[in-house]
Structure 1
């Protein structure tokens, strides 16, 4: 790829990798939906008020102001599928908001140039892998953002796509016309005839091959030029059965065109020219922008050999420029066994816990899942073929909300949607932050966004307001550092930084008792669990005891088992955090019950931490 100048990076000093990724706190944002830089009355990087913007803060009375009439509601719903205006420069203005929250690594949705003529605001429809999409800004602004983030001790992880490109070519409609006259290029195992690459207007009028006119750059066809060669794309139509082999490997994601990545067994994989070109392009972006990691999209839909080739090539390149722990986070949908086995096979660093982790974490906090189901996700070593105990503390990214919510089908909604669930939001965030894994906050969760509906758009609200703001609003931004959830999460994350056991310690779900005599693990009774749920993190002789209360209406008290060997009768633990701040500093005595135990009171929908 002669058009990529790697020589400019010689002698440059790059930002080092973290010592351990489990020390980090991720924040995932969709760039188009985060900030356009026009807000006012928020705090800048230095904590000073910004008063010269045009978008005021969102007030409780503004909730619902975008759907007061049928016409307003239709406009609100329609705007959610369009580009809304979030930018790299806008994100840069909110680095102080993220740092004060306790974020140490920001995961940004894809930023490369998208297929023209489509509403691919999400970034997963790349047409030009060599340039930043002008909706988001420029390549220079990406580099400036990363530099500014590093100055705030925030790392940057970029979402990248290998499995497919955008809708960069059109199928010949006569090839797949149905008897009813409809066009439906579904995967059937055979290639379709291709009409041509799409030009800058989105029409398939360019020759399908490498002989393109100069006008094709930068918005026509697909770039780099290596992707224009015959055989780059499988050309077999869209996936209709997402779990059918080889359909889920060869098919298009609706209009997103599947890339032929190569062939062969994992240990002797032959990468295609297309995969090599994409890998080289992403190596360039690592060095150009000084990135700290990638979240790799749709790894399930890639040959394992292709994913391993990419992981090896990226790790080697990153190490060659001093990034010894450049992190690759793989999106692997499916159960945890499949995810962990795939992770081991392809050599990426962590799996994005999409289905099991999210469903069980949300269900636990709301009282509809037995806690053991969540805690067991992190300690089943047999899932990766190891017969000794394994802790997955740095091998899974944990969260409970995201931008797709595949697990919920058409009934999509954020955690805080529904009566009383906003009161449990801090408990969910605290559980995620203080249990094993690399915690990730989905943007807006710290403000209890509640997006719900039958489409992805409703869980992708614009943090900066506009026509598609949170809580079905328009015209107000949600960068509110006085929100109690934001403030409490910030305090929890400060303790996470202070106490190594919360980041690296072993983890145990603890038994509880109401009377101090009969102990057992908390579990659902009568269809819902309204209870104290405690756990311990242990590291080098130190124990930190945490607990949430799944009852949103009443405080709850329980005896909680602690480590019998670390404590003696008469010892005490001190409350370092409670959602009832008046309780902080109080001590609880260790007593000889079920080995050893302490008696804890957790506020309604609350969280406490003792050490």
Structure 2
């Protein structure tokens, strides 16, 4: 009898265990994206991705009378896209029930969270800011324990120029005082989301999970802490967002929701990089297709923004990060390689949700008309009935000029500072010249101090121009200490470790005592210049009048009704005399100007001298 009871008990447990296993296999939800959302959004429709084995075979309902607007299945039964209406729904916990044959087989809790006060009207970065760009893996290692991760392929190897070196979010937070001392008011970090490529993953542009900070940088909570610490300093956080592609190791690439989630040929075909095909009226269809649909590189599958599921996924992911991390803006990688109609919808969806939110797109072209095409409300784009809705573009033509002019010491028709002058003669092409990012270099270009062999005078002239010309200046980490590095030796050479960011570094430039005399010279000038820039509205949003360079001397004015600044840059090899009468249109009744560096007063009623390869910034009074 006891034996029968034991057998009966074993059978009962066996049945229960089988049911449990069956339930786990059938009902397992491996991913939910977004993992949570926010109540009170401008667009109340939320499309939630549920992923698990054969999950599409289930019926779905949600608690609390929430309306399900649509349930979308694809050819892959492991995905289910459920759209709910959150209009007038307060923050609360929802419960999704999944049933088979009218029996609930599993449930999933889902949080609608409370938004921050005035979240929709958050202020973004603008021309009053200076942006500091850094590569987190190469800036500072604040937590050596996370340098390598068992679950991620590439391990830390500081001896490998193309490997991971261990820099992280903790290292950035620990050195925010340094960045602030430079006069920076906004931080742009290259991507921090997980990148599980087997090699070269340190740059972050081949993301494998766009809802998760790479554990080698820290956690999502660490990123939120970075945002909070910046805001305590009245500084802003700009996320580097990638809409064009993901990495080959992205979790979806092993089990695509739809065949056309990415562009396929089938499989891989490389872009021709000819972004002009996006608007060239003479282009062939195959060339236009290969620009947009081709992959940037083989390890980066190209996302299909013309697929509504893909586009909505990218929109919601971007908005989720803004809300979660309390972001102040985006920089969008490879903006002009996207499907141009799709990326316009993406951009508009974000700026509809956040009317003041600034987004700068990487439109790497060598022609102002072609770059201006991509800025919001462009008259050039309007010729083709196109509006990207992109608030800001990057001034690559100015970067190209800055990389050449200071080795062109003779005044000619089109060389020397005439290149800078000519760049701004085309400003009429842009809808909003104040909202253009200006820079001398970034993480993809030759180092400025490499081009000019750490020539301090040339650095002074370039930074003076960036600080006082129209637009939003961006400084690439290390420029302020004279950091160089030859791109011809590989990208690792222009992305060197920041000295002092690792324990044991012999040269710690985060402290004054750790800098060499040359590094201190670069740092002091940069800090003084951009700290001054914070205080002068004329160089933020003022109008500009410039004068044709003579003898390689460029003179221009930035001015408002209340403030005026006169900038004189002498790129010649000899000191020269400036005759103020020529500039009476702008000097008007001003009798003198104070040089912001020396404090010296310059008499504007008489001619004065300016040294060779130097610059004056004169506050007029």
Larger-Rg structure:
2
Query: Is 1:4 aligned to 2:35, yes or no?
Result: yes
- Listed one character per residue, the Cα deviations across residues 138-187 of structure 1 (whole Å, up to 9, x for unaligned) are 0000000000001011100010111111023xxxxxxxxxxxxxxxxxxx
Q: TM-score, normalised by structure 1?
A: 0.70
Q: Distance in 1 between matches of 2:574 and 2:500?
A: 34
Against the structure 1 CA distance between its residues 151 and 339, is the aligned structure 2 distance closer, same or farther, given a 3 Å change threshold? same
Partner of residue 82, structure 1: 163
Give the counterpart of 1:367 among 383, 408, 414: 408
* 1:207-226 map, 5 Å: 220-222=251-253
Residue 546 (1) aligns with residue 567 (2):
yes
Shift of 1:587: 3.2
Cα distance in 1 for residues equivalent to 2:468 and 2:509: 25
1:445 deviates by 0.8
SS of the aligned residue for 2:264 comes to: coil
1:287 aligns to 2:323 (yes or no): yes
TM-score, reference length from structure 2: 0.69
Matches within 5 A, 1:340-351: 340-344=372-376, 345-351=387-393
Alpha-carbon displacement from aligned partner over 1:184-226 (angstroms, at most 9, x marks no partner): xxxxxxxxxxxxxxxxxxxxxxxxxxxxxxxxxxx74459x8x
For CA contacts below 8 A with separation 6 or more, give which structure has more relative contact order: 1
| 2:388 is the alignment partner of 1:353 | no
* CA displacement 1:330-379 (0-9 Å, x = unmatched): 0011122111112232111110123x120112323443634343234345
RMSD after superposition: 3.0
Aligned partner of 1:587 in structure 2 is 602
Q: Select 1:503's aligned residue among 536, 540, 545.
A: 540
Contiguous gaps of at least 5 residues in structure 1: 40-75, 169-218, 264-270, 385-389, 406-411, 512-520, 524-530, 592-597
Residues 33 and 464 in structure 1, CA contact (< 8 A), matched pair in contact too: no
Q: How do 1:404-443 and structure 2 match up within 5 A?
A: 404-405=444-445, 412-419=446-453, 421-443=455-477
**Kept in 2: contact 1:510–1:562 (CA 8 A):** no
Q: Which moved more, 1:128-137 or 1:501-510?
A: 501-510
Measured after TM superposition, the shift of residue 304 of structure 1 is 1.1
From 124, 130, 134, the equivalent of 2:215 is 134
Within the candidate set 138, 141, 148, 1:33 is matched to: 138
Distance 2:184 2:557 in 1: 23
Number of residue equivalences: 467
Report 1:41-440 matches (<5 A): 79-168=160-249, 220-222=251-253, 228-236=257-265, 237-239=268-270, 241-243=272-274, 244-263=287-306, 271-317=307-353, 319=354, 324-334=355-365, 335-344=367-376, 345-354=387-396, 356-367=397-408, 369-380=415-426, 383=429, 392-394=433-435, 396-405=436-445, 412-419=446-453, 421-440=455-474
Deviates more, 1:97-106 or 1:232-241: 232-241
Whole-Å Cα distance in 2 between the matches of residues 522 and 38 of structure 1? 53
Residue pair 1:9, 1:288 contacting (<8 A) in 2 also: no
- Aligned equivalents of 1:392 and 1:465: distance in 2? 38
The more displaced of 244-253 and 477-486 is 477-486
CA contact (8 A) 2:596 2:619 kept: yes
Q: Which has the larger displacement, 304-313 or 599-608? A: 599-608
The 1:533/1:451 distance shift into structure 2, 3 A limit, reads same
8 Å Cα contact 1:378-1:392 kept in structure 2: no
- What is the Cα deviation at residue 111 of structure 1? 0.8
1:23 to 104, 128, 133: 128
